[in-house]
Homo-oligomer: A and B are copies of this chain.
Amino acid sequence: MDSHISPVDLQKAYRLINHGPTVLVSARHAGVDNVMAAAWACALDFAPPKLTVVLDKSSKTRELIEQSGAFVIQVPTVAQLQLTNAVGTLSLSAEPDKLKKSGVGLFSIEGHDLPFVAGCSAWLACKLIPEIHNQQTYDLFIGEVVGAWADTRVFSNGRWHFEGADPEWRSLHHVAGGHFYAIGEPLKAQD
């Protein structure tokens, strides 16, 4: 594991996605790994931390999650714009070498049999909370966050530091098609 990757206190894990970034969803089952992009992911609770993610019935990653009961939500960076667009466009069913074509490198974190995407800024290992009605009716999946990590070059002491990091570390916020916005400048409300 890259020496810049450090665990994040589970109580602060929600902060990794609180600002609404587009995420990458990855999963593993029976020797098959896949990664997809999802703009529709959202925090759901603080403690224990939970999140929601919408996964279309056509996606291979959804199938892997239904089989394994686990997945990773990770926050891609501006440097991964092409990778994010590629894993959001290509399908593993049609393109067996999707991950290679998309430039995805995977790494492991001890204690979690899950594929983590290298180069992201944050990772949340999740255990699926089965809610069949939500999954079937709304394509809505709920996960409990059981592990969280971030790259200390952009997230440390429970805070993002986009303003102090290389702009390549900024999060991506998808609009439609291949169009995204990067996250911008910090603002502090007065008490």
Identify the A interface with B (CB < 8 A): 12, 15, 18-22, 39-45, 50, 52, 54, 78, 81-82, 84-85, 133-134, 138-140, 142, 158-160, 162, 170, 172-176, 178-191
Contact = CB atoms under 8 A, between A and B. Distances in A.
A19 B173 contact: yes
Given A82-B190, A138-B142, A40 B42 contact: yes
14 contacts: A15-B176, A18-B175, A19-B20, A20-B22, A20-B173, A41-B42, A45-B139, A52-B52, A52-B140, A81-B187, A159-B175, A179-B187, A180-B189, A181-B187
Contacts of A54: 42-45
Contacts of A176: 12, 15, 18, 158-159
Contact of A191 (B18, B52, B160, B178): B178
Closest 4 CB pairs of A and B: A20-B20, A184-B184, A85-B189, A178-B189
Contacts of A12: 176
